[in-house]
A = this chain, B = another copy of it.
Amino acid sequence: MRIIYDLDEMTETARGWLAGGTVGFVPTMGYLHQGHIALMQAARQECEISVASIFVNPIQFEANEELIRYPRDLARDLQLLSNARIDVVFIPRAEDLYPPDFSTYVTPSNSPWAMQQAKGFGSLIYNRGVATVITKLFQLVRPDVAYFGQKNAQQVAIVRQLVRDLNIDVEPRIQPTVRDSDGLALGSRNHFLTAAERKAASVIYRALLAGKALVDANVRNSAIIEKAMIDLLVTEPLVTLDYVKVCHPDTLSILDIVTPAAMLLVAAHIGKLHFVDNIIWLGGTNWKL
C-alpha cells in the first residue's frame, strides 16, 4: 500500500493512471469503521486501482471546537486500509490544500431546505466545504468512480449535483448504510456516546422503520408518516429531534406524497453530536435500508 502526502506526487501519480484502468476512490475523514470498509471493498472489486483519502476537512466545520474534537487515529486507519488491500492512501496536509491565499470556493447555491437549516449540520458552510474539498480531491486523484455511503444524504446530494453542474467526469456510486445489530448506522462519532446515549440512539433507526411500516401498509401521505416517526423519536429523552422529512434523494426536495424513490430522512442530535440516517423506498416491497 502506497501512502502519498504530497499534492504534486498525487497529481503525477494520477496522471500515470490515466491509461491504466479505472480508478475507484473513497474520500474519508478517517477514523474508519465498517461502513468505510464496505466502500473500500466495493472500490477494490469494481475498479483496477483503489484509492482512499484521509482528510479532516477544516472548511466544512462551523466551529473550530468541532474540528478539534473530530476523532483521529491514523495508525489504526492505515492498518484497516492495508487489511482491505487498498492500493493508495492519499493523506493531504491542510496547509497544502488551503494555503494562506486560498480563495476559490465551490458553492452549491440553490440548496434545498435540508441544506440550509440545522446549524452545524446543514449549513451553507458545510455545503460549501464539502463541495470544495470533493472538487479538489477529484482533481488530484482523477477517479473514474467515487464511493459514498447512503447515510449522509446531504453529502450525496451535494456530490451528485456538483459532478453534474461542473461536468466532472466522475461517477458517484452510493453504497448501502452499514448498521450495528440494533440498526444504528455506523459513524465515526458513535464512539463518543455514553452507554445510555448509545442505547437511546437506536430510536433513529426505529423511527425510520416506523415510517417504513406505514409505507408498506400503503400509507402515501407524507405528513402522516412523518408524524409517526416523530411520535416515536420524542419518546427517547436523550435524543433531540432536528427534523424528519420525506424527500427526493437526489435533491432533498420535500415530497408531500410518497412515490417510489422517496427517502425517509431523520436528523437528530444527542448532546452535541449530530446524527442523520435515511432509508429509501424503491417501490413495491423494495427498500434501501
Contact = CB atoms under 8 A, between A and B. Distances in A.
Interface of A: 7, 11, 14-15, 18-19, 97, 101-111, 131-132, 135-136, 139-140, 142, 161-162, 165-169, 251
B104 A104 contact: no
A167 B7 CA distance: 8
B109 A166 contact: no
Contacts of A139: 166-169
Given A18-B18, A168-B139, A161 B106 contact: no
Query: What does DSSP make chain A's interface, helix, strand, loop or mixed?
Result: mixed
Nearest to A96: B167
A106 B109 contact: no
A14 B166 CA distance: 15
Given A7-B167, A18-B19, A103-B165, 6 more contacts: A15-B169, A103-B161, A104-B161, A136-B166, A139-B168, A142-B169
A135 B14 CA distance: 19
**Minimum-distance CB pairs A-B, first 3:** A103-B110, A19-B19, A104-B165
